[in-house]
Structure 1
Amino acid sequence: MSSIGKMIRFERIFNRTTGRTIVVPMDHGTTVGPIKGVIDMKTTIQKVANGGANAIVEHKGLVAEGLRGSGPDIGLIIHLSASTCLSPFPNAKTLVCTVEEAIKLGADAVSIHFNLGDADEKDMLHDFGRVSADCRTWGLPLLAMCYARGEKIKNSYDVNFVKHAARVGGELGADIVKVNYTGSPESFREVTEGCNVPVVIAGGETMDSDHEILEMVKGSIDAGGAGISIGRNVFQHRDPENLVKAMHMIIHQNKSVAEALDHLASVA
């Protein structure tokens, strides 16, 4: 990360002391529609900001929803990729925003999504290469959401696929990569050790148990992960603000899962 501009913006989305981050993606409305948690974006953004999240991810048309006028500041990552669940090719992501447009909108970083193994993999990798070059030109950090999804992929949480996807993200110029958690600190360490840039975890399927969510977060940190990029398990939680606070305890304060759960119990 040689650009001073990129370094300054990176500090807006990463904690300078811990070198870790709490990102809450809220780009789901494009993919699946106005689901619970992203209907009233202003309220949800305020809650996760109050909880201590470092950044949110959203599409360009919702940037104004993050302008609150008061309360804690929060970093802005504009998502450049899109597809919908109505498409016959939902895993084929297309670019719907440019790096230059994101800068004009005040972005601290941009994100892109690719799916290794999809029939349109070559087009997504081509787009990734272009976006990576533009980010280097303009000094804007790039978060790559890296997944293995396709005919040859039987289990997208398999460590061999996850570490391959992470490695592709790093090799093509991402500053941060987001991947699935592989289920244990031991297996996830293969992912972090095989990638040259910070690795954050996705939330995966919606979980019912706070303990399960926080164990996943702690396991990723213990394996050398750089934090989280968790959407639905945060913004659809019964108490997003305090769940983020519990995650903050683990990620930025090195607290235990038990201590984080105690916090959630104390505010229930």
Structure 2
Amino acid sequence: MTKALRLGRLFGADGRTLVVAMDRPRALLTKSLSAPHLTVRQCRETHVDAVIVPLGTLRTVAEHLGGLGTIFSVREGISTSAAVDVALQWGVDAIKYEAFPCGPAEQETMPVLEALGRACDAAGIPLMAEVVPHSFDATDQHTADAVSAAARMAMECGADVVKVPLPTDGDLTAVVENAVVPVVVLGGPVTDRASFLQRVRSVVGAGAAGLAVGRNMFEAPDPRQMAADLCAIIHPRTRRTNSPSTP
């Protein structure tokens, strides 16, 4: 299967995507993920486009995925060849790796991202780079300039999709324009429903290709309704498809 076909399983016909991230350590402790196969079923039923899963969860939910796009979350320490082998073995649609440019961890994580970019190219597997300036906790470093630079660095390392935090200052539009490849924005800290949905509208309005949501859905009073609300914002005129078109 080519990259174009795999990307078509992650994005709707409108070039947008709603991704549910099931790989964050704090998210793994939530009650909603105690039965991950039920979460996957709920994602299918509410027309979520894709899920991000670590290896253990991938093994658990593989038979329940159906047509749901699947992104294998690679952790530190795994070799690039092993990551690609796992992706091919389980038939996932992309590999995701976290890197932390513009800070102390850049020298450790960005070379791995570049190596994964080469390996994914050779195997025809899309690479999603989750790039966060400095670290997740250093939110004061998540300026529009830093996020924009991080996104472009990831693209130059071979990322087909970049996943970034919402800049703490300025407009996301510059990040989207500088990235070249589709930009998916992290869901961010847990907040009230109205504020979160307005944040998502702003993200889509700035030209982002979509959202990767975790706790704001898992910890919502009605996760199924939250997923439906997000789909309505991200795909206002279309429903999820398995179109082979690239975003």
Q: Deviations over 1:121-172 (max 9, x none)?
A: 212111101110011001011111010125xx66133111111111111111
Q: Number of aligned residue pairs: give it.
A: 234
CA displacement at 1:234 relative to structure 2: 1.4
Give the conservation status (yes or no) of the 8 Å contact 2:40–2:64.
Answer: no
Structure 1 portions without partners, runs of 5+: 83-93, 256-268
Structure 2 portions without partners, runs of 5+: 239-247
- Which of 91, 106, 110 aligns to 1:125? It is 110
Match of 1:49 in 2: 44
- 1:146, 1:49 → 2: CA distance? 27
- 2:127, 2:14 → 1: CA distance? 19
- 2:14, 2:5 → 1: CA distance? 16
Secondary structure, counterpart of 2:43 in structure 1: helix
Match of 1:80 in 2: 74
Q: Deviations over 1:86-135 (max 9, x none)?
A: xxxxxxxx447511222111211110000123423212111101110011
Q: Deviations over 1:21-44 (max 9, x none)?
A: 011110124x67533322211111
- 2:132, 2:107 → 1: CA distance? 14
Match of 1:114 in 2: 99
Q: 1:154 to 1:236 in 2, by over 3 A?
A: closer
- Which of 227, 237, 241 aligns to 1:244? It is 227
Secondary structure, counterpart of 2:150 in structure 1: helix
- 1:201, 1:156 → 2: CA distance? 16
- 2:63, 2:88 → 1: CA distance? 19
Match of 1:262 in 2: none
Q: 1:194 to 1:55 in 2, by over 3 A?
A: same
Q: 1:122 to 1:11 in 2, by over 3 A?
A: same
Amino acid at match of 2:128: L
- 2:64, 2:158 → 1: CA distance? 34
Secondary structure, counterpart of 1:160 in structure 2: helix
Match of 2:157 in 1: 172
Give the conservation status (yes or no) of the 8 Å contact 1:51–1:243.
Answer: no
Higher RCO by CA contacts (8 Å cutoff, separation 6 or greater): 2
Secondary structure, counterpart of 2:71 in structure 1: strand
The answer on 1:190 being equivalent to 2:174 is yes
Q: Deviations over 1:1-34 (max 9, x none)?
A: xxx710011111111x2101011110124x6753
Q: 1:245 to 1:32 in 2, by over 3 A?
A: closer
Secondary structure, counterpart of 1:27 in structure 2: coil
Give the conservation status (yes or no) of the 8 Å contact 2:140–2:168.
Answer: no
- 2:64, 2:87 → 1: CA distance? 21
Q: Deviations over 1:195-217 (max 9, x none)?
A: 1100011011111x111111111
Match of 2:242 in 1: none
**Cα RMSD, aligned residues only:** 2.2
Secondary structure, counterpart of 1:9 in structure 2: helix
The answer on 1:11 being equivalent to 2:19 is no
Give me the TM-score of the superposition, normalised by structure 2. Answer: 0.87
Match of 1:205 in 2: 189
- 2:91, 2:144 → 1: CA distance? 36
Q: 1:8 to 1:253 in 2, by over 3 A?
A: same
The answer on 1:147 being equivalent to 2:128 is no
- 1:201, 1:191 → 2: CA distance? 10
- 1:9, 1:239 → 2: CA distance? 31
Q: 1:218 to 1:183 in 2, by over 3 A?
A: farther
Match of 2:33 in 1: 38
